[in-house]
Amino acid sequence: MSKQEYLDRLCGGKLSRRQFHQLLAGTGLSLVAMPMLGRQARADEQAILFTWSGYDVPEAHPAYDAKYGAPPDMPLFSDEEEAFQKLRAGFQVDLAHPCSGRINRWRSANLLQPIDTSKLSNWGDVFDGLKVVNDANADGKQWFVPWDWGNTSVIYRADLVDVKEESWSILWDERYAGKIAMGNDITDTSIIAGLLIGAADPYNMTDEEIEKVRLLLQKQKPLLRFYWSDSTEFEQAMASGEVVVASAWNSSVATLRGQGVDVKYMTPKEGRLNWCCGLILQTNAPHPDKAHDLMDAMLDPKAGEWLINYGYGHSNRKTFDLVSEELLAERGFPKDPTEFLKDGLFSKENKRLDALQQMFEGVKAGI
């Protein structure tokens, strides 16, 4: 396979992170050796949205598809660190879909440009509290458009797991050795471990606290069935009983319950992790006008209706007029996320992310 064919498959979202690196290794290439992906846009090209698996569906932006007669291009990433490194290496997109705690890091790397909210017809209906999370609005400019919000917590098979106390510590419970799954993204996993070791600020841990986290993750590793990058991976394993407890996002609860699997979602005594994710406009985005149309389409209440059914909250207050009280109760969502996101530990910029990433790679490698 030629280098260009690798690029075409990568840009089309047809390679997982694991497949991508395996293919590179097999040809002696590396990410930094790949050519810059910048190119001049053609009029017939669609906006490019760099996003997570599961969001690459037309229901997330129906107004855009209707206007342009085609969906945006949607290459996928498995976690935000992968997305950050690819963008920093020259992968060119219009929009990317990180969470708000990454705004400053990505902006410092010159990956963002301000968003013109006057081009967003739905902007006035976005919850005011979400417009300003984690420096989303800084220096009088909007750097981030909030879109989805929710939790990270523990999901477990209620018919197979005996919960004595709702705590993150169940992810270290030796009774379920070989049947535990943990997220492969250190931005969640380190905070979970940081809560358990009693870190004063899990988003700015000391070297001593990071060492305690390392020891805790080393203790957990032999108990794991696997680290998951794509939630579909552990959802299938949980449905079969191969995995019975895992760290998870809200959508997995909706997915598994929709399949008739008896799962519950914890409120750990140490606190859930709360987050708001959204859209950034990449520096030198090739299709800025289409990118703004895509952002506006994703803010539309019809897109929000799909998002709530999928399992997450939406940033447009008018969305909540389209869904039933019963569905909101089942999802555990209020009509205003302000108080919801205060009940737990809200995601913010991690000051020690590079050190944590290096530590976690060592844990996974058995070092």
153 vs 273: CA distance, rounded Å: 7
314 vs 336: CA distance, rounded Å: 10
Distances, alpha carbon 326 to alpha carbons 56, 330, 336, in Å: 27, 6, 16
40 pLDDT band, cuts 50/70/90, is low
72 vs 92: CA distance, rounded Å: 14
Residue 142: count of CB within 10 angstroms of its CB: 17
List b or e across 320-347, with b for residues whose CB sees 16 or more CB atoms inside 10 angstroms: bebbeeeeeeebebeeebeebbeebbbb
71 vs 303: CA distance, rounded Å: 13
Q: In which residue are the tokens 């400053």 written?
A: 104
214 vs 224: CA distance, rounded Å: 15
> What are the phi and psi torsion angles at 118 (to 5°)?
-65, -15
3-state secondary structure of 337: helix
Residue type, 97: H
Residue type, 74: M
pLDDT of amino acid 125: 98
pTM for the full model? 0.84
332 pLDDT band, cuts 50/70/90, is confident
For all residues of the chain together, what is the average pLDDT?
89
196 pLDDT band, cuts 50/70/90, is very high
3-state helix, strand, coil in the chain (%, to 5): 45, 15, 35
Tens digits of residue pLDDT in 140-186: 999 999 999 999 999 999 999 999 999 999 999 999 999 999 999 89
Residue 23 has pLDDT above 70, yes or no: no
Residue 287 has pLDDT above 60, yes or no: yes
The CATH number corresponding to 151-273+348-364 among 3.40.190.10, 3.40.50.970, 3.40.50.10540, 3.50.50.60 equals 3.40.190.10
The structural domains of the chain, with segments of one domain joined by +, span 3-149+275-343, 151-273+348-364
Sign of CA dihedral 276, 21, 58, 253: negative
pLDDT of amino acid 341: 84
Q: What is the mean pLDDT of residues 98-122?
A: 97
Nearest-5° Cα angle at 96, 91 to 102: 105
Domain 3-149+275-343 class in CATH? alpha beta
Fold match flag (3-149+275-343 vs 151-273+348-364): yes
Tens digits of residue pLDDT in 237-282: 999 999 999 999 999 999 999 999 999 999 999 999 999 999 999 9
Nearest-5° Cα angle at 94, 88 to 95: 85
Torsion of CA 188, 219, 85, 113, to 10 degrees: 20
